[in-house]
Amino acid sequence: MDAKYDLNDDSVVVIIGSGAGGGTLANELAQKNIKVVVLEAGKRHEVGDFVNDEWASFTQLAWSDMRTTSGSWRVHRDFPNLPAWIVKAVGGSTVHWAGASLRFQEHEFKAKSAYGGIQGANLLDWPITLQELEPYYAKAEDKMGVTRTNGIPGLPGNNNFKVLAAGATKVGYKGVHTGRMAINSQPRDGRGACQQIGFCFQGCLSGAKWSTLYTEIPKGEKTGKLEVRPESHAAQIEHDAAGKVTGVVYFDKDGKQQRQKARAVCVAGNSIETPRLLLLSQSSKFPNGLANSSGQLGRNYMRHMTGSVYAVFTRPVRMWRGTTMAGIVTDEAGHNPKRGFVGGYEIETLSIGLPFMAAFLDPGAWGREFTSAMDGYENMAGMWLVGEDMPQESNRITLDPSAKDKLGLPVASVHFDDHPNDVAMRNHAYKAGTAIYEAVDATRVFPTPPYPSTHNLGTCRMSENPRDGVCNKFGQTHDIKNLFISDGSQFTTGGAENPTLTIVSLAIRQADYIAEQMGKNAI
Amino acid sequence: MDQSRADALDRRQFLAGVGTAALIISGAAVIHTEEAWGLEVKNLKPETMRTLIKTARDIYPHDRLADRFYAVAMKSYDVKAGTDPQAKTMVEQGVAQLDALARKQHGVAYVDVGWEADRVALLRQMEREPFFQNVRGGLVVSLYNQKEVWPIFGYEGESASKGGYIKHGFDDIAWL
């Protein structure tokens, strides 16, 4: 029996967003018999709707609502209105993610203590430790079916991985394997095994890759406690005179304004829309936006140090065959300041199809230098470098002073500049990637600039002290007890690891906390 | 006339014509004499479309790609020129500007400039123009997203209809 709540039912928890954070939180609360309404801005595309064609899929799934950008990052120059590549659909970015599921390292929760004072970096220790999160990491790995955990075998290595592994081994790296991936290597949890379809970024047609769309959400709906409303775009979170949130105003699929009352509101719109919504919700009582007594709302935007290295060989690789990512070299992920920077980075296989290679290999480039690279596509291998970037207060989300979206709401503006530590790390990573491919006789190597960000973090960060951040160790905002941050915006620092496993773990833990607080009538 | 002057004249005519030997104008169409296709041009001047096709190849030159792929990529400019007067002006003026540069520096229209390197040098002078940026940016999708182009690069596209690459060589690399 599908749940359907009255708009005036103020006993429901309203979750905005249905991705790794929102979707997991929704199911976890529903399993605890708590009534949940999920407002998802995007449509509900099921597995049968996915298209294995890069541009057609991008049109179907990507968040393309207007955003503006500023700053010295190359994304501003090449993709001024596309700062991020995330999903606008039920399932959020778990629909298009690659599946990499890595735990943070212990010192990464204590980045400020571990790295010391870094000029221009707004480093801060998380208010939680690895030890506190470990039981939740374990639950998340089981929930998601992460390979190399829970007795689940690693995925087989595809051509792209074999090139990486051969080169990395020759260079002397030791931490080389096909990754800890939330992709079934054998049937599990009612979903089949990976068929190496090769279009992970376009939605998994076999369901082998974990996505809240076809795991958490239907499981939650089955309890009869969870109602998901697609094409429901949250526009404002309302509060009462005492400063408690009371409901969410949203635009429904017909463009009409609706108001869903709420006992608590959890925001999981990913790290650009979440602070945008809190800023849009400013009022006379909260003139700087909700939960912004610290002034940190929207600030400390992190996108990970990223870049790619593609290499051409004299013989075919055919890297597009199989998983987009399922291969890792972990040796550079630790903190080793002798390299000339703090924090570390992971080296992960990556493949994109011919159409996307034309767009992202070297945005703006043309002529024979570019086309000779494209001519080598069949003989290309590729990797993605993902590492810890420094939080900077000036890297932030604000409301654009003039641009408005189709609903008439001020759009998010994303400002970003690399920190010198990010640049030093990226240059080191480019050299490392080049060395790997040259060890197996690459004839030409291309360091590729960061894409529109797929990892977006930190804009409503956790802090021990309310003056340093937006929420506490449970993602509960410091200023408003019944308002929660439930996505990657919570991250105090970025770590070197892909964020999804940590987002899911935090959501499981937050559900425990919300249930406990509701049980005590504290919320 | 003496033989050396006659030779020089023939040589110049030959060089002037070599860039346009395959793509010719016939009425309101661009005809490719070697690949045997024609592209009816409804809203732009056919000379403009011919120049667009040549420009497209010069921006993203792939020697293994026949002209028809570049023509397909440029077709949308003629379509858009029919409904969007500003788009039509941008293209006609952009091509006119390119031709003016070519005449000034080489004495002939863009399509008649013999060496690719010379044409690319002209394009570099136009690099900041909205016309150039529009054509270059559009080609990223209109050229490389043509499914008929993919096999020429070896790219195989989707695999789910065949059961995935798991049984179609996902790990068949043999030279490591």
Contact of B145 with chain A, judged by CB distance below 8 Å, is answered with yes
Contact at CB, B172 and A159, closer than 8 angstroms: yes
Cα separation, A393 vs A298, in Å, equals 9
- The token pair at B127 is 């690099």
Q: Tell me the chain B residues in contact with residue A195 when contact means C-beta distances shorter than 8 Å.
A: 160, 163-166
* Amino acid found at A275: P
Contacts of A375 in chain B (CB under 8 A): 62, 64, 153
Backbone phi and psi for residue A66, each to the nearest 5 degrees, phi listed first: -55, 135
Average pLDDT score over residue span A103-109: 98
Q: What is the mean pLDDT of residues A40-67?
A: 98
CA gyration radius for chain B? 20
**CA-only gyration radius of chain A, Å:** 22
Q: Is A372 left (phi over 0), alpha (psi -120 to 50) or beta?
A: alpha
Note whether B62 contacts A371, CB cutoff 8 Å. Answer: yes
Nearest to B165 among A54, A197, A378 (CB): A197
Q: At what angle do helices B116-125 and B85-106 cross, to 10 degrees?
A: 120
Q: Which residue has the tokens 């949203």?
A: A250
Give the list of residues 6+ apart from residue B113 with CB closer than 8 angstroms, or none. B19, B102, B106, B119, B122
Q: Provide the 3-class DSSP secondary structure of residue A315.
A: coil
DSSP secondary structure letter of residue A230? S
Element (H, E) at A54: helix A54-61
pLDDT of B9 strictly over 80? no
**What is the CA angle A274-A14-A63, rounded to 5?**
40
DSSP classification of residue A351: -
3-state SS assignment for residue A13 = strand
Instruction: Test A353 with B165 for CB contact under 8 angstroms.
Output: no
Residue A55 is encoded by which pair of tokens?
């541009």
Mutation target among A58, A196, A436 for the B interface, most CBs of B within 10 A: A196
CB pairs A-B closer than 8 Å:
120
Alpha helices in A332-399 (DSSP H): 354-360, 368-375
State how far Cα A414 lies from the chain centre: 16
Strand-pairing partners, residue A312, are A380, A444
| Shortest distance, CA A218 to any CA of chain B (angstroms) | 24
Quote the crossing angle between the two packed helices A420-438 and A159-171, to the nearest 10°. 100
Rounded distance, CA A98 to CA A82, Å? 20
- Hunting for tokens 């939180």 — which residue is that? A25
Beta-carbon separation of B144 and A355 below 8 A: yes
Give the distance from residue B27's alpha carbon to the nearest chain A alpha carbon, in angstroms: 32
| CA-based torsion, A179, A185, A191, A195: positive or negative | positive
Interface test with B, best of A205, A318, A437 (most B CBs within 10 A): A318
Q: For the segment A438-484, what is each residue's pLDDT rounded down to a tens digit?
A: 999 999 999 999 999 999 999 999 999 999 999 999 999 999 999 99
Phi, psi at A259, each rounded to 5° = -130, 120
Q: Can you tell me the distance from the alpha carbon of A208 to that of A511, in angstroms, rounded to the nearest whole number?
A: 26
The verdict on ipTM greater than 0.90 is yes
CA torsion A13-A14-A16-A22 (nearest 10°) is 30
Q: What angle do CA A447, A453, A455 make, to 5 degrees?
A: 110
Q: What is the pLDDT of residues A383-413, one digit of tens each?
A: 999 999 999 999 999 999 999 999 999 999 9
Judged against a pLDDT cut of 60, whether residue B63 lies above it is answered with yes
DSSP B59: H
B55 forms bridges with which residues in the sheet? Answer: none
Is B18's pLDDT higher than 50?
no
Q: What average pLDDT does this structure show over A125-129?
A: 98
Between the CA atoms of A136, A139, A143 and A144, what dihedral angle is there, to the nearest 10 degrees?
Answer: 60
Q: At what angle do helices B85-106 and B130-142 cross, to 10 degrees?
A: 110
Which residues in B lie closer than 8 A to residue A194 (C-beta atoms)?
Answer: 164, 166
In this predicted model, what pLDDT tens digit does every residue of A498-521 receive, in sequence order? 999 999 999 999 999 999 999 999
Question: For residues B52 and B72, what is the distance between their CA atoms, to the nearest angstrom?
Answer: 11
Residue with the larger pLDDT of the pair B3 and A351: A351
User: What confidence tens digit (pLDDT) does each residue in B72-87 have?
Assistant: 999 999 999 999 999 9
Q: Among A196, A127, A206, which residue's Cα sits nearest to residue A156? A: A196
> Which amino acid makes up residue A522?
A
- Which of the residues A169, A186, A197 would you substitute to probe the B interface, choosing the one with the greatest number of B C-beta atoms within 10 Å? A197
Q: Say yes or no for a CB contact (<8 Å) between A321 and B60.
A: no
Question: B155, A195: Cβ pair inside 8 Å?
Answer: no
Kindly identify which residue of chain A lies nearest to residue B121, measuring between CA atoms: A367
DSSP A399: E
Question: Using CA atoms, how far apart are residues B72 and B66, in angstroms rounded to an integer?
Answer: 11
Of A166, A197, A355, the CB nearest to B160: A197
What part of B 151-170 touches A (C-beta under 8 Å)?
153-160, 163-166, 168-170
Taking only the tens place, the pLDDT of each residue in A249-258 is 999 999 999 9
Cross-chain CB nearest to A321 (options B62, B153, B170): B170
Percent of residues, chain A, with pLDDT higher than 90: 99
Contact between B71 and B35 under an 8 Å Cβ cutoff? The reply is: no
Token look-up 């500023």 returns A70
Q: Is residue A25 classed as helix, strand or coil in its secondary structure? A: helix
How far does A199 lie from chain B, in Å, by closest CA? 8
**Residue B156 confidence (pLDDT):** 98
Give the span between the Cα atoms of A156 and A523, in whole angstroms. 47
Question: Given A53, A158, A206, which is nearest B170 (Cβ)?
Answer: A158
Q: Rounded to whole angstroms, how far apart are CA atoms A307 and A190?
A: 36
Dihedral angle of Cα B39, B43, B46, B52, to the nearest 10 degrees: -80
pTM: 0.96
Nearest to A378 among B136, B144, B153 (CB): B153
Give the nearest partner residue to B165 out of A162, A316, A322, using CB atoms. A322
Q: Chain B: nearest CA to A396, how far in angstroms?
A: 29
